[in-house]
Structure 1
Amino acid sequence: MKKKVVLFLPMLIALLDVVIEFAIPTNEVINTNGVHYFGYLMLIIAGIYLILGIRACISNTYWCHYYGKIKFHSVAIAFLGLIEILTDKLVVLPTVYFPSVNNILACAIAEKNMLAACTLYSIRLLFLGTIFGGAIGVFTGILMGWSKTINYWVAPISRFIGPLPTAIWIPIALLVFPNLLSASVFIVALTMWFPTNVQTMSGIQNVKKGYYDVADTMGASTAYQIIHIAIPAAMPQIFVGIFSGVTSSFISLMLAELMGSKYGIGWYINWKQQIMAYSNVWIALVILAILCYSTIQLLFALRNKFLGWKEGMIRW
């Protein structure tokens, strides 16, 4: 019974935040036009956790998945309530740099169209850069890992170009590429390419030679050995390279959007920071964090799909 009550702890804390929001008056310094956005957000969150709690009570399988996350979720919701008290109610923190959750949500609603356009622009740039960079990185990594001749000529170039900071390539990209979008895609793709290339090459080189000996005995062609032996055996390291490349690409994404773009989360953050609109900066940072988290979760899902045969053997 006690464990079942704990399942609804996040909901209870969210409801406590609702009480705090509506019961404690907002400080006169704060201007939210009387709209309690934070209270409405906590009501929605409370409803969501009510549904999740009921589901956990019904399903033992979901209970095992949900129970371990309750403490973290509860503390996170309580932390939001604490921030709202320190900013919206007591104004303990400087309001210019630390706006209340109410003000952040108000800015998000007021500029939803601009934020949506900037988010879609960043997603497009990140998608193009990671796809091109990842594909080229995997391809060159396979060639370098398989062929000693190709590795001899290409590896020194890879080791020279790859570690260079991305910012160094910005003026070169602006000169070489015909438009700003292609230059930005190049910056993101270059960041994605190096770790993917290195990890793929390492994975191919570390495949046990006994596998190839068996394949040679059975008359398998070189193409068959690469596609059906080398690549599947190297997949765990290939995914590590893709994961490293994607996380690094978010940094390059911000740099690429500062090259003169008129949209993008990085451009939006820089613009709002210059005019001291930190409520907008915070909501853009939240959107960026959600985008990064969603991308990483997608990578985990792809890893589980393609590496199901190695479940339990790799952890990252």
Structure 2
Amino acid sequence: MHCDVISKMLQSPTIQFKDDRRLDVTLERLEQGQVKTQCFAIYLSESLGKPRFEHILHSIDVFHRSVLNHRKMRFIRSQEDWVEMEAAGDQIGALLSLEGVDGLEGDLSYVHLCYLLGVRLIGFTWNHANWAADGVMEPRNGGFTRKGRALIEQCEQLGLIMDVSHLSEAGFWELAERSSKPIIASHSNSQTICPHPRNLTDDQIVSIIRRGGRIGITFFPPFVRRDSSVSIDDVLRHIDHICSLGGKSNLMFGSDFDGIDQFITNLEHPGKYDKLHNALARQYSSADVEGFTYKNASIFLKAALPLNS
């Protein structure tokens, strides 16, 4: 449910999606790991300068030219796209998300344009404050601005899936109050297991569960364990804890590949997903493993995506 392939391509135009070792996520590795769907984030690096809407448009163009130009990749914008992708059997779904609304420049008409161009998930911030809300690393821990609250309303009207990863805790609770729809944390773990600000408190996790949302376990070592050596077993500790809070049907995975520079042993790229699957199978039933690795996300998306493109 989260990778930063597009951001890398935006900064290095020579990178190829098919089999370029400068990427963690490539077509071959998705096939090797039997990945059925990958969500590609639009993240505007500080190296681009002041975030502009033209950077978002350029990112979407890169997505089409470099990712969707491969026959196996299927753009997922609607419930029909999802059903057809599943029926085809040999296709890999490609979702498009916006990580941080800085590049929308405070113009709500750009939100509608992003939706028309196929963006289906939106995260309001990266780690810091912007025109809409405070990020999780903003010291004042503020919520949404007036224009940010209008953004929530527009996302609700359009049917954009709202993502709380990177959002401040105050922003989380304000969104929970103002939104009537399920929300997701595309790439966040449990703060109880690993006390990092980017992880979710138990109260936040329970809130997402009760709303029928989803939590994408992420593989960035500092979010998994406060240690220099992190293993797949440490990832399972987060899964165990969220399950203990009633979230067995709410779990999915949001690797953050291509947005991280540290890796879990035997989980360095999607081609290694068999190692994660095997570890899960030793501890959980086949139905649970199917839920974690695919079905939980599939059920959610088939309900949350619009009826047509």
Work out which of the two has the higher radius of gyration on C-alpha atoms and give 1 or 2.
1
Q: TM-score, normalised by structure 1?
A: 0.21
Q: TM-score, normalised by structure 2?
A: 0.21
The structure with the greater share of residues assigned to helix is 1
The structure with the greater share of residues assigned to strand is 2
